[in-house]
Amino acid sequence: MIKVSLTKIFRRRFRKRITDQYLRQRFSQRLKLFTHNPHNRTLNDHQLGGKLSGFRAFSITDDIRVIYHQDSPNKVSLVDVGTHTQVYGKSNS
């Protein structure tokens, strides 16, 4: 099982961006799936490149992503969450 820690930035962005109850529930479901099987195809987990090289992402919905860093084989730190534009775009507000 994967151990997950939440960075301060992740917590702040989650509170600001994920306000809908449905999205919060979906996040909880996907995070549970991720901790038990990070390679589940439903998550669409993938390596990132460019300015986010060294990070990975998985999907909450078609447009909502979670960016994380693999700290060790069994530990990750969640660093960002939001729409595709919010996490990959020029503005990370």
Question: Would you list the domain boundaries of the chain?
Answer: 3-88
What pLDDT score was predicted for residue 92?
45
What pLDDT score was predicted for residue 64?
97
pTM over 0.85: yes
The answer to whether 74 and 3 are in contact (CB under 8 A) is yes
Question: In tens digits, what is the pLDDT along the chain, a chain of 93 residues?
Answer: 999 999 999 999 999 999 999 999 999 999 999 999 999 999 999 999 999 999 999 999 999 999 999 999 999 999 999 999 999 986 544
The dihedral through the CA atoms of 72, 5, 9, 40 has a sign that is: positive
- The CATH number fitting domain 3-88, selected from 3.40.50.620, 3.40.190.10, 3.20.20.105, 3.30.2310.20: 3.30.2310.20
Rounded to whole angstroms, how far apart are CA atoms 14 and 31? Answer: 13
Rounded to whole angstroms, how far apart are CA atoms 37 and 14? Answer: 22
> What is the phi/psi pair of residue 91, to 5°?
-95, 125
